[in-house]
Amino acid sequence: MSRFEKKVAIVTGAAGGIGAAAARRLISEGAQVMLVDLDETSLETLCTELGANSRYCVADVSNLEDAQRYCQQTVDAWGKVDVLLANAGIEGVVAPLHEYPTEMFHKVMKVNVEGVWNGLQLAMPLMAANGGGSIVITSSVAGLQGAPGMAAYVTSKHAVVGLMRTAALEGAPHKVRVNTVNPAPVETRMMRSLEQGMNPDDPGKVHDQMAAAIPFGRYASAEEIASMLLYLASDDSSYCTGGTYTVDGAMSSG
């Protein structure tokens, strides 16, 4: 498949499980990809694996100057931006709302919301000037429902759905599509961290309980989430914008 032949994509959070899976798929389907993350060692390793059609930029997505830098480096390398996978995010800690650390709440909101905000503000004009493009934001089933102990994360993932809907309306006249993907728990580092926070003595028990509560009986794989990200990034979804797309094994259907 060559859905992304001659397309230029930016993937934030590229060092994580979902971001790396999406980057591999984009490269395999012909894209040129800018990998963005704070973890330089992982970025360098992934870039070496992906080859000549990839570059990387060490950046904090919540910092506007860093966001400007990764966009500019992409344009300098390949002349345009067709796709932005706004995938970077952090989980925060697990704590009741009345005990949740205020500094951590602000940090989660800054990375998960301002990081997306910066990407939208900078990428949308670049895409509009080039005749259009697709932005896909990684939200969560936590962006559609609540979850005890995860006030900051849930709030941030609801917030990016609102950003997406506004951006989709503003982008439509310029052929810039904007959507969110809302996964169930995924077999990644983030879920290991949350499981540990929920039960430090037996995180595996949390994993098994959460998996059993999903109608499919398991977590998603990073590759399954990447498949939806790429569908929405590609021209296969040319009439899809302003939508929330669950990849959740029917978790949000109950």
CATH code of the domain containing 54 = 3.40.50.720
Q: Within a domain: residue 196?
A: no
Q: Which domain holds residue 52?
A: 8-184+220-247
The identity of residue 31, as a single letter, is A
Which of 56, 70, 100, 153 is labelled catalytic?
153
pLDDT of residue 252 exceeding 90, the answer is no
Look up residue 34 and give its two tokens. 């800018």
Is 100 annotated in the active site? no
| Structural Rg of the chain based on CA atoms | 17
Predicted pLDDT of residue 191 = 74
pLDDT of residue 187 exceeding 90, the answer is no
User: Among candidates 71, 67, 78, 25, which has minimal Cα distance to 234?
Assistant: 25
Distances (CA, A) of 36 to 10, 20, 62, 73: 7, 10, 12, 11
Look up residue 141 and give its two tokens. 């089933």
Q: Within a domain: residue 41?
A: yes
pTM equals: 0.94
Number of structural domains, the chain?
Answer: 1
Q: Within a domain: residue 209?
A: no
Q: What is the pLDDT of residues 75-90, one digit of tens each?
A: 999 999 999 999 999 9
- Model confidence at 1, in pLDDT bands (50, 70, 90)? low
Predicted pLDDT of residue 235 = 97
Q: Within a domain: residue 36?
A: yes
The DSSP element (H or E) to which 18 belongs, if any, is: helix 17-28
What number is the average pLDDT over the span 114-129?
98
Distances (CA, A) of 245 to 53, 164, 223: 29, 12, 15
* Contact (Cβ atoms closer than 8 angstroms) between residue 94 and residue 42: no
Mean pLDDT of the chain: 95
Q: What is the pLDDT of residues 18-75, one digit of tens each?
A: 999 999 999 999 999 999 999 999 999 999 999 999 999 999 999 999 999 999 999 9
Predicted pLDDT of residue 183 = 95
